[in-house]
Amino acid sequence: MGATFVGMPVFPVAARAALGDTQLRHNLAHATGTIRDKRARVVAEVGDWEDLRTAGAAIKDATLADLEHHLVQLEARLTEQGAVVHWARDAEEANRIVAEVAKSHAVDEVVKVKSMVTQEIGLNEALAEEGIAAWETDLAELIVQLGDDLPSHILVPAIHRNRAEIRQIFLDHMAAAGRPAPDGLTDEPAELASAARLHLREKFLGAKMAVSGANFAVAETGTLVVVESEGNGRMCLTLPEVLVSVVGIEKVVPTFADLDVFLRLLPRSSTGERMNPYTSTWSGVTPGDGPQEVHVVLLDNGRTRALADEVGRQALRCIRCSACLNVCPVYERVGGHAYGSVYPGPIGAILNPLMRGVGEDPQVDSLPYASSLCGACYEVCPVKIDIPSVLVDLRAQVVDAHRGGKPKLEAVAMKGAASTFGSSKRLRFAERFARFGTGLARRLPVASAWTGARDLPKGPVESFRAWWQRTDGGKNDG
Ligand code: SF4
């Protein structure tokens, strides 16, 4: 249960190791291929899919442009309806808030709905340090947790495991976490699902507190939304007495009507389904129905840093569907662990540097290069995040961050050119030496970076302006 991404090597090193694992590559190719085909089939059914994508991107952009207003409205609506709203600048603050709520109820175990944001902040590990066990209830997350493993996909965290491996994990580790796996368990999917169901049911019935994230948070109504396929989320959100939801500040959408767009985009893009089997919504506390104490932790943890990046802020539109992972040729070959983060694949390659900043951590700085820039991710993204453009911009930021304050040669050359073209006297002088200057520059070793792939033509014997003056505008030529 203590596995973390801390100390992961830079992407090229981790990728090389992953490429040597043929079982991993086989599992990934099979799983991503299946989801990719399902997605393509159900997306093709929607005539106005491109309009939906445009609408999704526009709603997110408009919300991000006025984020403070929508967050304050969300806080007000939630508070009016009996929820307690907390603000957390970073992972440490968010983890402390959740642990304090648990301790105030003398809780030593909580059940969890699958949530990327709680993985991002390392909540399970932080709670474990306080003596509180956090049990994952999503089937794939349960497999990862029991196997003391790391998630490798946003939607299918155990995508790197096949069913024989899953059976062995259940047999070896389920008993230590609660109800053991049944005797004679085979690797039939129905049997594995049944073993997980029986194991988890005991957890649901015994838990006093649950922790969730949220796919969306509606500002005008103070409504949180969780979509899922297994029903475990619905159990966590309704059975325990206390519910704490950790929500990234970019999850807010202005109105309930906006959900219409995202609830059509998300299931087709993620699981390749027409709609999510379970869509749970709640707005604060309803007396006598569901959790009677509801906390919402609104988390920054680098999101405002990403928002400040003019090119990169579009990454905050992401609805974590994972379609970009499933089409990425790099992800399909190396898997999620090589990205060293709970956010792998194309979106992880931009989100991690944007939220954590570049120039500090070589592992983070290696991520914008973890792409062939083929553009497949952009084509499938339901909210039209131009991942290749953001990657290119981040590569420039990484290079600049490692320049150590030295000005770029190109920038110096451009400044010199601007000064020369700004004065006819200087331009005349420069023209006189152009032929000699270019001839010399071609021999300098520093010019090889340019001349290795491009021409550096020799300057003319006489400039146009000199010719014009000498011939009186061509009248005396020849
Ligand atoms: S970047 Fe787009 S395709 Fe990738 S997970 Fe986010 S919303 Fe889905």
Residue-wise pLDDT tens digits, 342-360: 999 999 999 999 999 999 9
Is it the case that residue 23 has pLDDT exceeding 60?
yes
Please give the pLDDT value at position 1: 43
Complete DSSP assignment for 372-393: ----HHHHH-TT---HHHHHHH
Alpha carbon of 262 to ligand 1 centroid (Å): 12
Choice from 320, 327, 391 to test ligand 1 binding pocket (greatest atom count within 8 A of CB): 320
Of all protein residues, the one whose alpha carbon is nearest to atom 2 of ligand 1 is: 381
Pairing of strands 109-112, 133-136: parallel
Is it the case that residue 437 has pLDDT exceeding 80?
no
Choice from 59, 266, 324, 341 to test ligand 1 binding pocket (greatest atom count within 8 A of CB): 324
Contacts of 244 (CB under 8 A, 6+ apart): 97, 98, 101, 102, 209, 210, 211, 212, 294, 295, 296, 297
Please give the pLDDT value at position 328: 96
Total H helices, total E strands in the chain: 23, 10
Which is nearest to 179 in space by CA: 193, 168, 195? 195
Alpha carbon of 182 to ligand 1 centroid (Å): 38
Please give the pLDDT value at position 134: 97
Is it the case that residue 448 has pLDDT exceeding 90?
no
Please give the pLDDT value at position 3: 66
Cβ-contact 305, 337 below 8 angstroms: no
- The vertex-75 CA angle with 72 and 79, nearest 5°, equals 145
Please give the pLDDT value at position 222: 98
Q: Using CA atoms, how far apart are residues 315 and 119, in angstroms rounded to an integer?
A: 18
Average pLDDT of span 151-176: 91
Alpha carbon of 346 to ligand 1 centroid (Å): 8
Contacts of 358 (CB under 8 A, 6+ apart): 364, 365, 394, 397, 398, 401
User: pTM, whole model, 2 decimals?
Assistant: 0.86
Average pLDDT of span 275-282: 96
Contacts of 362 (CB under 8 A, 6+ apart): 10
Average pLDDT of span 425-450: 78
Alpha carbon of 151 to ligand 1 centroid (Å): 17
- In tens, the pLDDT along 356-372 reads 999 999 999 999 999 99
Poorest-pLDDT segment among 79-83, 195-199, 447-451: 447-451
Of all protein residues, the one whose alpha carbon is nearest to atom 6 of ligand 1 is: 318
More confident residue, 453 or 344: 344
Tokens of 474: 């061509």
Alpha carbon of 122 to ligand 1 centroid (Å): 22
Atom of ligand 1 nearest to the CA of 269: 8
Of all protein residues, the one whose alpha carbon is nearest to atom 3 of ligand 1 is: 381
Choice from 117, 381, 387 to test ligand 1 binding pocket (greatest atom count within 8 A of CB): 381
- In tens, the pLDDT along 50-60 reads 999 999 999 99
Is it the case that residue 426 has pLDDT exceeding 50?
yes
Share of the chain above pLDDT 90, in %: 79
Instruction: State if residue 236 touches ligand 1 by the CB under 6 angstroms criterion.
Output: no
Helices (H), 328-407: 329-334, 345-356, 362-366, 376-380, 387-401
Instruction: State if residue 276 touches ligand 1 by the CB under 6 angstroms criterion.
Output: no
Instruction: State if residue 385 touches ligand 1 by the CB under 6 angstroms criterion.
Output: yes
Q: Using CA atoms, how far apart are residues 265 and 73, in angstroms rounded to an integer?
A: 25
Please give the pLDDT value at position 454: 79
Please give the pLDDT value at position 150: 87
Instruction: State if residue 323 touches ligand 1 by the CB under 6 angstroms criterion.
Output: yes
Q: Using CA atoms, how far apart are residues 2 and 9, in angstroms rounded to an integer?
A: 18
Alpha carbon of 1 to ligand 1 centroid (Å): 28
Mean pLDDT across the chain, nearest whole number? 93
Instruction: State if residue 155 touches ligand 1 by the CB under 6 angstroms criterion.
Output: no
More confident residue, 437 or 26: 26
Is it the case that residue 453 has pLDDT exceeding 80?
no
Is it the case that residue 435 has pLDDT exceeding 90?
no
Tokens of 156: 């299918």
Of all protein residues, the one whose alpha carbon is nearest to atom 7 of ligand 1 is: 318
Is it the case that residue 427 has pLDDT exceeding 90?
no
Average pLDDT of span 439-462: 76
Share of the chain above pLDDT 70, in %: 99
